[in-house]
């Protein structure tokens, strides 16, 4: 306050200092005529000054305090400077404005912190990914086909994400559209992993629990995605890219935290222990719900809605969703994304090759996962630093061609050609995974940015979830095509004679969608505001 008074006092006009102190110099007598003339002159000067300041304000040169003749002061305390945040006080309005630390160019406000932590949980849940793979393969003794079926079954919740978006947008739970569903999702995820750690001992029980866990993650993903879309709408591609970089950077960091232990815990303590530890992680999603800045929905603070109202609301949302999706500027880019994701994949066959043929242990695969998690974060950084202002068509063209060429290097590992160059299978696998993951993450970021910026106001969660479900459906389609191609070529858990051919065909097929790049928006530079 003293600092403010000092600034305010110093800013006022001052008379020239006299050699004598005013308190020691008696005032000169002023006649009544001079007093009237002086008062009138002062009023005229003040009136002219106010008109001048108003004219400057109307010309966009800032708002002024008419009495002090100065702009509103922004005060910042030393403690705020040291903490990295600043609180600015507008003397005209009396309101405060707070700024925060920035990460990937995004303010770390409570809402954004909640989004980042939910994505962090998605990444750290990878702690159980290797445990699930080895549990299905070694404990339940499933063959590759059954493993692929359960994997596809667990992806089903990601294909109906529009349903979660519709529920979140239309049906407030205890008065909230976002907070309540985050809490519920976290509790559901914790329950599924508790069951995996204790009671599950069959492929059907495992499939059910994996499905519930996947549902938990998918629902929370829709909720936070809607929050991201609300912030990204109308922003430039650069700002939208920064928001997505924060999300996926948090997920990659979570993957780094859990990566190494995902393998070493399986070796040291077994899969049940890993499932038990994983059960605590979804509770973070429930905890951060309190950070979400959300105004309660008045009049609908319970989970019950009338049947007729629900049906009418459902019809309205379906019409609104269809009206948005069928627009060419949304439908055509979405079609390209689906086809781009729907090319065959050889991941499941490679997992059986590196574990059954090369003998990679869970601990080593945990190290590989650590490398790929770091690589994923590097891919986010690569996009955020160099690619977020590049037109989308150029990004997809370059990353697809380079990714297809780099994917062919897995043939070296399958044929043992890497050993002829003196590179061990372990080091080659680490290096190959590092490069491919960096490029893969950098190429996937534009998909998220494009989907976020296509969403109109009022149906953020529903439409974004629809677009991402279509993308996920393409990925599942690619997995099924890869499984069919694997079966056609006779690649099994013990026979890998045609695995090299499978890898070549899968990577060449990734080039097939490139002639359809014209379906994507043209410019999409940093200065763009809408697609």
- pLDDT (tens digit, 9 = 90+) per residue, 456-512? 666 666 677 788 888 888 888 888 888 888 888 888 888 889 999 999 999 999 999
The owner of tokens 């006009």 is 13
Q: Which residue has the tokens 């609104």?
A: 320
DSSP-derived letter for residue 288 is G
Those residues with Cβ within 8 angstroms of residue 83's Cβ, 6 or more apart along the chain or in another chain: none
Q: Tell me the domain boundaries of the chain.
A: 105-519
State the pLDDT at residue 465.
73
Domain 105-519 in CATH 3.30.450.20? The answer is: no
Residue 15 is predicted with a pLDDT of 36
Decide if 121 contacts 289 (C-beta within 8 A). no
C-alpha closest to that of 151 among 348, 343, 341, 345: 348
CA dist 522 and 516 (Å) reads 13
- Count of alpha carbons within 13 Å of 463, Cβ hemisphere only? 28
pLDDT for 329 equals: 79
Q: What is the pLDDT of residue 70?
A: 35
- Tell me the backbone φ, ψ of residue 89, rounded to 5 degrees: -110, 120
> For residue 88, what is the enclosing H or E element?
strand 86-89
Strands 102-103 and 106-107: antiparallel
Q: Which residue intervals of 125-270 are DSSP H helices? A: 129-134, 144-154, 161-170, 179-198, 203-232, 237-269
Question: What's the pLDDT at 428?
Answer: 92
pLDDT for 472: 85
Q: Which residues of 145-183 are buried (b: 16+ CB within 10 A; e: fewer)?
A: eebbebbeebbebbbbbbbbbbbbbbbbbebbbbbbbbb
Q: Please choose, from the candidates 70, 146, 38, the residue with its C-alpha nearest in 3D space to the C-alpha of residue 493.
A: 146
Q: How far is 173 from 162, CA to CA, in rounded Å?
A: 17
pLDDT under 50 in the chain at which residues? 1-38, 42, 53, 56-98, 237, 300-304, 524-531
């Amino acid at each position: 306050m003293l600092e403010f008074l000092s600034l305010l006092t110093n800013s006022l006009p001052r008379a020239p200092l006299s050699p004598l102190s005013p308190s020691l110099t008696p005032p000169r007598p002023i006649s009544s005529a001079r007093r009237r003339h002086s008062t009138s002159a002062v009023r005229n000067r003040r009136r002219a000054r106010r008109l001048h300041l108003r004219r400057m304000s109307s010309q966009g040169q800032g708002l002024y305090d008419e009495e002090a003749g100065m702009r509103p002061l922004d005060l910042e305390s030393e403690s705020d400077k040291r903490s990295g945040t600043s609180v600015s006080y507008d003397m005209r309005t009396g309101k405060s404005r707070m700024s925060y630390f920035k990460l990937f160019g995004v303010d770390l406000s409570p809402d954004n912190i909640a989004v980042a932590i939910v994505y962090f949980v998605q990444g750290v849940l990878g702690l159980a990914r290797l445990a699930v793979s080895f549990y299905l393969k070694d404990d339940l003794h499933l063959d590759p086909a059954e493993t692929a079926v359960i994997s596809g079954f667990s992806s089903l919740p990601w294909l109906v994400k529009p349903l979660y978006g519709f529920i979140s947008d239309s049906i407030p739970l205890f008065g909230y559209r976002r907070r309540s569903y985050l809490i519920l999702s976290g509790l559901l995820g914790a329950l599924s992993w508790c069951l995996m750690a204790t009671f599950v001992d069959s492929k059907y029980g495992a499939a059910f629990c994996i499905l519930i866990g996947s549902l938990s993650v998918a629902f929370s993903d829709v909720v936070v995605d809607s929050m991201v879309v609300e912030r990204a709408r109308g922003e430039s591609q650069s700002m939208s890219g920064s928001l997505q970089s924060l999300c996926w950077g948090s997920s990659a960091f979570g993957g780094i935290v859990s990566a190494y232990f995902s393998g070493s815990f399986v070796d040291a303590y077994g899969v049940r222990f890993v499932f038990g530890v994983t059960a605590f992680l979804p509770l973070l999603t429930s905890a951060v719900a309190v950070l979400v800045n959300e105004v309660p929905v008045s009049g609908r603070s319970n989970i019950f809605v009338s049947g007729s109202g629900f049906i009418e609301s459902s019809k309205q949302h379906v019409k609104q969703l269809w009206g948005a999706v069928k627009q060419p500027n949304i439908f055509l880019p979405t079609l390209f994304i689906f086809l781009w994701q729907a090319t065959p994949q050889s991941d499941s066959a490679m997992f059986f090759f590196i574990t059954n043929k090369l003998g990679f242990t869970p601990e080593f695969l945990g190290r590989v996962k650590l490398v790929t998690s770091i690589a994923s974060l590097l891919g986010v950084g690569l996009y955020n630093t160099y690619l977020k202002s590049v037109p989308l068509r150029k990004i997809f063209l370059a990353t697809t061609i380079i990714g297809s060429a780099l994917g062919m290097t897995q043939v070296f590992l399958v044929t043992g050609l890497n050993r002829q160059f003196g590179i061990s299978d372990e080091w080659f696998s680490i290096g190959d995974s590092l490069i491919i993951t960096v490029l893969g993450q950098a190429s996937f970021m534009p998909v998220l940015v494009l989907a976020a910026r296509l969403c109109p106001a009022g149906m953020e969660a529903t439409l974004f979830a629809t677009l991402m479900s279509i993308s996920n459906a393409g990925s599942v389609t690619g997995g099924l095509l890869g499984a069919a191609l694997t079966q056609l070529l006779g690649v099994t858990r013990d026979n890998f004679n045609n695995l090299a051919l499978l890898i070549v065909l899968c990577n060449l097929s990734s080039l097939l969608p490139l002639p359809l790049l014209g379906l994507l928006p043209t410019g999409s530079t940093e200065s763009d505001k809408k697609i």
